[in-house]
Structure 1
C-alpha cells in the first residue's frame, strides 16, 4: 500500500487457527526490507485474521522494532488493517488503513517522532467469467516527511486495472495509475521531480 510498507521480511512467522473464523499470527524478523540485519534489534510481528461471516474478511497486523533513523536507531511501529466484503458473486469491495510512526534520535538522549497515514478503497467486478475490472483510490498523508523526505506532503492515487483470466493458473493484467501530490516528490528517468506521476503496467501471474 502506497509503497510505504516493507516489501520483504526475513525471519520466522507462525499462524495459529483458533477456529474456522479466527487465526492469530506472530513472528520475528530482521526489520523492514533487511535480508541482513542492520542492527542487533529484531522486529516483532503480531496479527489476526477474522472471517465472522462468509463474505467478510478482516485482517489486522502490527510490526514494531528498532530501525535506522537519523543518526541512530529508533522504534518504528506500523499498524495495518484490511477488510474485504463480497457483495455477490461478481462484485466485491474493500478498504485498507495504514499508520506508521518512527522515533528519531535527536542527540543528548532526546528523540523526536514522525508518522504517516494512508487510507485506500477498492471495488472489483467480474464482467464475464474471464474478465475482471478493479478500481482503487488511495489517500496518503506524510505530514512529517517520514516517507517522501518532504514535510507536509499529501497525495491521492487512482488506479484502474483490467484482468483476463486465461485459465485457472494464468492471469494477465493491464493497469493504469495516476498519482497527484502537494509537493514535487515523484522523480522521472531524467532525475527531474514532479507533483504528478502516471504509470502503465502489464503483469502476468502464474499460479503453481
Structure 2
C-alpha cells in the first residue's frame, strides 16, 4: 500500500516579527517562519501489512530537518522518518528498525493531528523516533503490552553505554482509550554533544541518563465530542542549565513536566472545531533553553470538503512567565500570538 500527503501553511504574528525565541532558537515545533508560505512536508509511506511486513516513510520539506535523527544532517530537507520490518505471530508483533515513539497525544504526520500547530509537549517533553526493536503483545482484545530496546531519543546511533528501554500499556474499548508509556536509558546531554564536542570541558562525559513518563487518555462523549488529556514528566541526570534570560549557567540535574487538554467537536460531517490548552514547566531550562513556565491556548477550525483535502484555520496565543520572545523592534516580551492557515492534500 502506498499513501502520503502534501502539507503547506502560512503563519503570521504581525509585522516582521520572528516566531523563534529571543536567542534565535525555535519556540514552536514546526511553524517557525513568519509571513512566508511554507512547504512543511511532502510525505510518502510504503506499507506492507502481512505476517512479514514493514513500512518505509519518507519526509521532504521544512519538517524533515526538525524530524531528522542523529547523525543525519538537519539541513537537507529530507528524512527517512520510519523504516522497519515487522513480524506478526498470533498476539505478538515485532518491529525492527526505525519507528515513531509511543509517547504523546500527537503524532509526526500532520493530517492525523487535531490542530495545525504542534503542542509544547510534543516538541519539548518527548522524543520523535527510536531505532531498535519493539515487541507488542495483544494480551486481550482491549489490552496491549509493549516493550522494547533502542538507541535513545531521535538517534539512529546511540551515545554509548546502556541502551534506552521502553515500556507501555494500551487499553481501548468503545469510547475510551488509555495509554501509558515510559523511556529510560543513556542519552546525549544535549544536541550539541555530537555536533560540537568543544562545548563541553575536556574529559566531560557527553552522555547521561534520561527518563520520561507519558500518559494519554481519550474519551468519546457521544458521536460529536471527543476529549483528550496528556501528561508528561521527565528527568535528566546531567543537563545544560539556563536562567530566565537563556544564559547558560552550568550543568546539573533537570526535570520537566506538563499537561495538555483537547476538546474536539464535530459540527458537521465536514467541519470540526478543536480547542487545546497546555502548560509546560522547564525550571532548569534544559528543554527550552529558558527557565520558564510556558502555556498556550489554541483554537482550530478544520474543514474537509473531501477525504483527500483538509484545510485548517488556527489562532494560537503563547505566554511565558519570563520574556523569552522579542517584538519586531527587538524589545523583550512574554507573549506570542499567531494566526495560521494550513492546506493538506492526501494521496
- What TM-score range do you get, normalising by the shorter chain? 0.7 to 0.9
TM superposition shift of 1:40? 4.7
Equivalent position to 2:334, from 195, 203, 206: 195
User: How far 1:190 sits from its partner (Å)?
Assistant: 9.4
Structure 1 residue 34 and structure 2 residue 155: aligned?
yes
Kindly indicate whether residue 143 of structure 2 is the aligned counterpart of residue 22 of structure 1.
yes
CA deviation map 1:118-145 (0-9, x unaligned): 0111100011110001000001111122
CA-CA distance at 1:87 after TM superposition:
0.5
Partner Cα distance (2:147, 2:258) in 1: 24
* Preserved contact between residue 31 and residue 42 of structure 1 (Cα < 8 Å): yes
1:66 has 2:186 as partner: yes
Provide the alpha-carbon RMSD of the alignment.
2.6
Distance 2:159 2:231 in 1: 28
- Alignment-derived partner of residue 86 in structure 1: 220
- Pair 1:57 & 2:177 matched: yes
Conservation of the 8 A alpha-carbon contact between 1:148 and 1:185: no
User: Are 1:119 and 1:138, in contact at CA under 8 Å, matched by a contact in 2?
Assistant: yes
| Structure 1: gaps of 5 or more residues | none
1:119 aligns with 2:240: no
Alignment-derived partner of residue 45 in structure 1: 166
* Aligned CA distance change for structure 1 residues 199 and 8 (closer, same or farther; 3 Å): farther
Pairing 1:118-157 to 2, within 5 Å after superposition? 118-151=258-291, 153-157=292-296
Deviates more, 1:96-105 or 1:55-64: 96-105
**1:155-170 aligned within 5 A:** 155-170=294-309
TM-score by length of 2: 0.53
The TM-score with structure 1 as length reference comes to 0.85
Cα deviation for residue 171 of structure 1 reads 2.4
* Aligned equivalent of 2:100: none
Query: In structure 2, do the counterparts of structure 1 residues 38 and 187 end up closer, same or farther at CA, with 3 Å as the change threshold?
Result: farther
Which of structures 1 and 2 has the larger relative contact order (alpha carbons within 8 angstroms, sep 6+)? 2
Distance in 1, Cα, partners of 2:188 & 2:328: 28
Quote the offset at 1:200 in angstroms: 3.4
Greater share of helix: 2
Secondary structure of 2:285's counterpart equals: coil
Number of positions where the alignment pairs a residue of Structure 1 with one of Structure 2: 202
Cα distance in 2 for residues equivalent to 1:15 and 1:206: 32
